[in-house]
Structure 1
């Protein structure tokens, strides 16, 4: 039977040999090109594994004799070493029978010709011009077997391969499984063993009209129907060519090195393509630095389209300087094919700056005058003009005076100064005298304003506290006092400070010549012997006062002194006072 076409087709065994012998002058193919793979390795000898009529490989036919009866076993071509882990393929040569046992072949190595690795590079070049355009191979495969073969008598199986197309086929592979019941003696041309134990011919090139005859001499071993299905793999070649170009982008920008804040910055952008190919889809990007400004935002794009080789484009861009400092401008040009180029330029934006410093005491007591220093400095790169300095006073501060022609505005409770010009890296200082009149945090707020929208602010929080000042007096109501008569001591405690006094405690010690009759005051008391202790008074407001009273009886004549102690949370040590009382007798 004959099969033809552009793809591999199996061919069944026929009943008669082919009437057409192999074309004269056609021999086995030379070695394959580098881009073809060598046949995978297999066992050194082989015998077919097709199923016998009885269904068991190698089983004798019914009524027949055992396999290989009366046929001497062939000697192998090469004896493999005992330590070999892999049996290389052996060529099938004339005069050498080769056996094959199922399960002894070595698995083929993984195909190294799969998908190309990402990033791989090569050295291939375009082929002949004749390989350009559609390439369709037409190859015919025919397998021819004798009508009858006999056990123990060699027989020849033929395969005819014919190029019936108009193109030369660079490479072909014919695979023929070894039929059941035979042993291969030789092959012509010399064949190799395939990964599945099959006979493998690698052929080519095969010119149009050429024909190859492949022969396999076998020794029949079993009775029954003998045959196999041969397959043909055709590898065709096709070529194409193109021209690779390399587009390039060169980006330049011209802009002033210095500008004054508030001025316009004109930028001339030049983009050219000195390469050999067209730069497609060119986009120009501008990343506006914070020191500059554009009405459309900070990330700008300009679609330029395609730029041909040798072509130059110019683009104008106008920005505005809005913040002092060195502006690092970034331009990017990008195109298809990951083409990208950057250009960086710097422009210095000149501008005056204002720094404000407020110095002075941050903790003051009520009604204690203090002076604050306000310093304004220009660390910028241009003079500051028409500088207005304002100090806004808190409600708990009272204005006293200001130097350097500072004027106080009672309606806004603020002080103002005017400076026509403050040169670069220069500073000026004014003094302001205030009096705290209210306790709590008093925030002195200062700010400066100048031309070009310059502004600076600073503040100084001042903690204003009061002072608790406890003062007390001790006085007797009757002095001298006659023996046996009563007198009283009044103790008047006054907070003369500006802060409430807390946890005020009073204690008295009576002299031996006096006896306590009664005691009263703002808190409870306890008496023990000649000592009287009043409990703590939690709070005594500024300018407030309380009175303690002790009634005593004159018990012994003489000059007697009562001792009084007062202690509060604001006092580190108690204050002690004495009051003298003279007791007399008419005896």
Structure 2
């Protein structure tokens, strides 16, 4: 639109505003940056309807082309010289000053407006001077013809303007801020006119929505909301996402999405699914760009966590063989987020017998595993899973417990149970002749047996013969030595649970009486020897 200022000469003024709806298709070549001029005359004064007659900065020729935004917004004014006594109005110069500017412009893109001065009177107008100011909110790019520049004021000294003669001034500026811009052009002696151009610009806004934390292996869904809050369409819009370390996408770490054109007030929603790949803090960076150098950027931080379930084992470290033992696997969720589905598996070693498990535990005899499935474990919650087995073999038995979430994250706990077997080593007479005549021989058989659950070592048997008997020979699993009527067998290195050893003595009765056989066994695990006795009656024939 346009507005005229008050007439400085008192002459009649006329303001006509014409805003055509269509723009000319002809495009103008850009003007060059003018030289700053201060109170210096222009170097050329060509007619304003073409560029060919003017000169650019430093005398460079300007391209010959017509401005492309002519007649989209105009303001004009007709001014006459003051009427003196006896001077008819028809003999006075009458100037028409017209300013033509585009109704709208794009921020950052050049625009051209023109000032046209025409003498519509019947006599020449002399010393014609046109003055204009650089529109607020713009940067000057160039003028044709070259202007004198004083501060933000432009001055053209056009000289004489004959009747019906017209001169055009072209001014090229670049809007640098959004809103309404304008300037006022004046002919020094009669009139001034004004024009206003509304500069429209797109304004992009980008917002990202997504989780603040995720577990390794979990999908991370981001949603980008892009909107144009400006007054002009944004073109060439692209959304670019830089995937940080700690997150992953099959397409790589530099992703781009073409939005294209986004109208004023329009919006676009873009969804992106990433995967949490590594524990730590990941900062996702998203940039939107558009034509004209527009850009906006947002970041979104995601804390990637591993499986934060603490797994502990409660129960005895040692147990007697054959005695039931109960273990507790305790799970504690140490994170601030629910775990989701958890699977707990315990592998039983050979040598133990499964007896029972807490609710939900299922034993598979083929794989020798007990498994529990938990739907969820809330933040800071604890769950106990119990298992009862019976050790059937001695030694150190290994147990392996594993907890795994639905994303493949897992933790493992290794435990051992030392199975102790208490040996029960004893000795007994298996065969003894109750009555023996003097001079006859008799057989004495002894059995050393371990009736306990543990092995014993250095098991040694000794037999004290009575005075009524003398050793003829001895046989057994170890060598013997006889001294002072005592038969001693070398120690057995090991006697396992349920094992037995047999020893036989052949003796001769040498005199009548009640012969008392005394046998004892010693070992590493026996605090004191085990003693047994047997009596044999020895008689004389006469």
Query: Which TM class, normalised by the smaller chain length?
Result: 0.3 to 0.5
TM-score w.r.t. structure 1 length? 0.43
TM-score w.r.t. structure 2 length? 0.46
Greater per-residue strand proportion: 2
User: Could you say which structure has the larger radius of gyration?
Assistant: 1
